[in-house]
């Protein structure tokens, strides 16, 4: 890793400059993370009187636990659904906006602001629209003969949280897709047009493949978002229900730790989540390296 | 554009206008709902046109809150959110500017080691290590305080990386010139490096302010005293606080007030926001 050619010389100053960040990191990041690792090997009895060292027992219990396996499955459906929905809508918008010349900036302004809405608020907004007794959507769906109720139907609840989480993420994906589209050389598209490729064909054989690095990057970012930043969406609306149908991993860590007070299990879940984040971050960074190289 | 297709353009506008309408719809509904008297929501489907009670509803939430359900007036919560967001933003920016400066402009033992410690924070979001972090903050006696709300969230690897990258592009000659003129490291930092980084600082400021304002899980855990509730978490208390259906007209007025500040920030600083977003994530 480089520095400047002739660095400043001081024996103590660099440490003093680094100190605030390193201290915060050690106290609030590294220490709790190692505590989680340590606690994941312990188990307390129900009265909190005795703590035993149980090796990997917490982990093996988790993977034998029907509720945890269910939560894994729910998280998978939720993150794939959110990622796919918000990325495909964002790509559609970006392609359309990219055709515009004069109105490009105004459309962008209109599409960009949901980024600022907190996940919890996004959840409450869609929860209100889909409210079974007064919401506008159930009323319209009833016209089509569908009886919407996210309080009793697991599918409905899942659709609700996916829509809320995806809605908020559209603006982010849109901005990156638009930037990607604008960096595609116009000459390639013109050449294909001269060869007689239709608009549709040009998109799927030229534009979309050239967007693939950005698509891949966004996929990772969206999965991270859906797995870790959507706590608010779940907590403010379905609270994991009905019948565990929307109990994603992050929400379960919180519930088991703070509501059910099962610290060993919660710590083990934290450790598994950290493993997932680390894998995703590494993938993301490998991608950046590749992009810098070509 | 390769060919100009009138129907194609018409179709594109149509898709976009519909899309924008769908994207705006939830907020439109919230604004409409916040202008109605409570009776509207008992009588069936919610309205799509504004009602007469706007002023009254907003006045109620700002000054009274819902004392029955234990939620304080919104005015105080808005202030708490603002203080928390500003503390997180300023804290993040200052500690990462300093550490990026140290990493780029000095050569010292364990430099790489410190770099990796900072890098690790990227991999440990609060949501993931929630219980032990809570314990640490509780042990330090920082529950129910602004320090507890903000300090644990101010370490930021992304900001440090961004500043590091930017400092690497600052020409070496500037530093040499400053040294020839007898400026020490801190003087160079203050008088040359900071003014040069001002655009980067501003665009990160936008992103981090939104990040800070929208914090949810953290304030939820460490504030039990209504005096420190932030607005985003306060909404959840309003929705689940009562025993019956939530008072939708008040909830939606609160939602509008909670969402407004960060949306305004984005709309007024769109260029900085886009720059900050695309640069922090790469």
pLDDT digits (tens, 9 = 90+) for B71-121: 677 888 889 999 999 999 999 999 999 999 998 888 888 888 888 888 877
Q: Which range marks the domain in which residue A21 is found?
A: 13-53
d(CA B64, CA B66): 6
Overall number of domains in chain B? 1
Selecting from B114, B132, B251 the residue whose C-beta is nearest the C-beta of A32 gives B132
Q: Are residues A47 and A111 in the same domain?
A: no
Check if A279 contacts B (Cβ < 8 Å).
no
**Cβ distance of A39 and B99 shorter than 8 Å:** no
**Cβ distance of A25 and B270 shorter than 8 Å:** no
Give a yes or no: residue B51 inside a domain. Answer: no
Q: Are residues A195 and A108 in the same domain?
A: yes
Check if B241 contacts A (Cβ < 8 Å).
no
Q: Are residues A49 and A142 in the same domain?
A: no
> How many other C-beta atoms are found inside a 10 Å radius of the C-beta of residue A131?
23
Give a yes or no: residue B96 inside a domain. Answer: yes
* CA distance to partner chain B, nearest, from residue A141 (Å): 13
* pLDDT higher than threshold 60 for residue A289: no
Check if B163 contacts A (Cβ < 8 Å).
no
* pLDDT higher than threshold 80 for residue B281: no
Q: Are residues A119 and A241 in the same domain?
A: yes
**Cβ distance of B102 and A228 shorter than 8 Å:** no
What pLDDT band is residue A200 in, cutting at 50, 70 and 90? confident
Give a yes or no: residue B26 inside a domain. Answer: no
Residue in B with minimal Cα distance to A99? B1
* pLDDT higher than threshold 70 for residue A175: yes
Give a yes or no: residue A6 inside a domain. Answer: no
The pLDDT tens digits of the residues spanning B162-208 come to 898 889 888 888 888 888 888 888 999 999 999 999 988 988 899 89
Give a yes or no: residue B189 inside a domain. Answer: yes
Residues of B in contact with A101 (CB under 8 A): 1
Q: Are residues A106 and A250 in the same domain?
A: yes
Give a yes or no: residue A244 inside a domain. Answer: yes
Q: Poorest-confidence range of A45-59, A116-130, B124-138?
A: A45-59
Residues of B in contact with A134 (CB under 8 A): 41, 44-46, 248
Check if B177 contacts A (Cβ < 8 Å).
no
Q: Which range marks the domain in which residue B80 is found?
A: 73-233+267-280
Residue A238 has which token pair?
Answer: 């379905």
Overall number of domains in chain A? 2
Give a yes or no: residue A91 inside a domain. Answer: yes
Give a yes or no: residue B219 inside a domain. Answer: yes
Give a yes or no: residue A1 inside a domain. Answer: no
**Cβ distance of B118 and A122 shorter than 8 Å:** no
pLDDT of residue A45: 67
Q: Are residues A158 and A223 in the same domain?
A: yes
Give a yes or no: residue B196 inside a domain. Answer: yes
Give a yes or no: residue B253 inside a domain. Answer: no
Interface test with B, best of A105, A120, A255 (most B CBs within 10 A): A120
d(CA A32, CA A15): 23
Q: Are residues A158 and A274 in the same domain?
A: yes
Mean model confidence pLDDT for chain A: 86
What separation in angstroms does the CA of B172 have from each of A68, B99, B139, B176?
Answer: 55, 19, 46, 6
């Amino acid at each position: 890793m480089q520095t400047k050619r002739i660095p400043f010389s001081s024996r103590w100053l660099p440490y003093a400059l680094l100190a605030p960040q390193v201290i915060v990191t050690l106290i609030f990041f590294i220490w709790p993370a190692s505590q989680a690792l340590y606690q994941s090997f312990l188990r307390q009895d129900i009265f909190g009187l005795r703590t035993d060292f149980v090796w990997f027992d917490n982990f093996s219990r988790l993977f034998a636990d029907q509720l945890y396996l269910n939560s894994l499955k729910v998280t998978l459906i939720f993150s794939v659904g959110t990622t796919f929905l918000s990325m495909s809508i964002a790509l559609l918008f970006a392609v359309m906006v990219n055709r515009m010349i004069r109105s490009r900036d105004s459309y962008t302004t209109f599409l960009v602001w949901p980024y600022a809405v907190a996940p919890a608020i996004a959840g409450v907004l869609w929860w209100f629209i889909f409210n079974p007794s007064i919401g506008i959507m159930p009323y319209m769906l009833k016209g089509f003969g569908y009886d919407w109720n996210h309080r009793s139907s697991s599918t409905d609840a899942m659709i609700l949280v996916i829509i809320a989480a995806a809605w908020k993420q559209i603006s982010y994906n849109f901005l990156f897709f638009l930037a990607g589209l604008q960096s595609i050389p116009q000459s390639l598209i013109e050449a294909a047009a001269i060869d007689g490729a239709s608009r549709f064909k040009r998109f799927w054989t030229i534009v979309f493949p050239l967007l693939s690095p950005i698509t891949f990057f966004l996929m990772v970012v969206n999965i991270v978002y859906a797995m870790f930043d959507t706590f608010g969406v779940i907590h403010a609306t379905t609270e994991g229900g009905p019948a565990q149908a929307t109990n994603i991993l992050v929400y379960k860590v919180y519930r088991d730790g703070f509501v059910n007070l099962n610290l060993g299990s919660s710590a083990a879940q934290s450790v598994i989540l950290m493993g997932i984040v680390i894998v995703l971050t590494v993938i993301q960074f490998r991608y950046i390296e590749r992009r810098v190289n070509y | 554009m390769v060919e100009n297709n009138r129907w194609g353009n018409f179709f594109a506008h149509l898709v976009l206008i519909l899309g924008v309408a769908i994207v705006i719809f939830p907020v439109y509904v919230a604004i409409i709902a916040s202008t109605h008297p409570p009776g509207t929501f008992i009588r069936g489907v919610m309205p799509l046109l504004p009602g007469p009670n706007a002023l009254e509803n907003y006045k109620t939430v700002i000054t009274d809150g819902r004392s029955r359900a234990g939620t304080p007036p919104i005015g105080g919560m808005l202030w708490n959110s603002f203080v928390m967001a500003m503390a997180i933003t300023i804290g993040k920016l200052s500690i990462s500017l300093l550490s990026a400066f140290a990493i780029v402009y000095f050569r010292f033992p364990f430099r790489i080691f410190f770099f990796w410690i900072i890098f690790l924070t990227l991999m440990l979001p609060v949501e993931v290590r929630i219980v032990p972090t809570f314990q640490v903050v509780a042990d330090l006696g920082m529950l129910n305080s602004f320090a507890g709300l903000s300090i644990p969230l101010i370490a930021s690897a992304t900001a440090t990386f961004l500043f590091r990258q930017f400092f690497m592009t600052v020409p070496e000659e500037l530093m040499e010139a400053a040294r020839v003129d007898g400026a020490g490291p801190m003087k160079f930092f203050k008088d040359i490096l900071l003014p040069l980084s001002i655009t980067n600082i501003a665009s990160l400021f936008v992103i981090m302010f939104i990040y800070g304002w929208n914090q949810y899980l953290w304030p939820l855990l460490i504030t039990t005293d209504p005096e420190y509730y932030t607005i985003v978490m306060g909404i959840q208390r309003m929705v689940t606080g009562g025993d019956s259906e939530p008072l939708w007209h008040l909830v939606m007025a609160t939602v509008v007030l909670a969402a407004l500040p960060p949306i305004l920030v984005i709309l007024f600083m769109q260029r900085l926001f886009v720059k900050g977003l695309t640069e922090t994530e790469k």
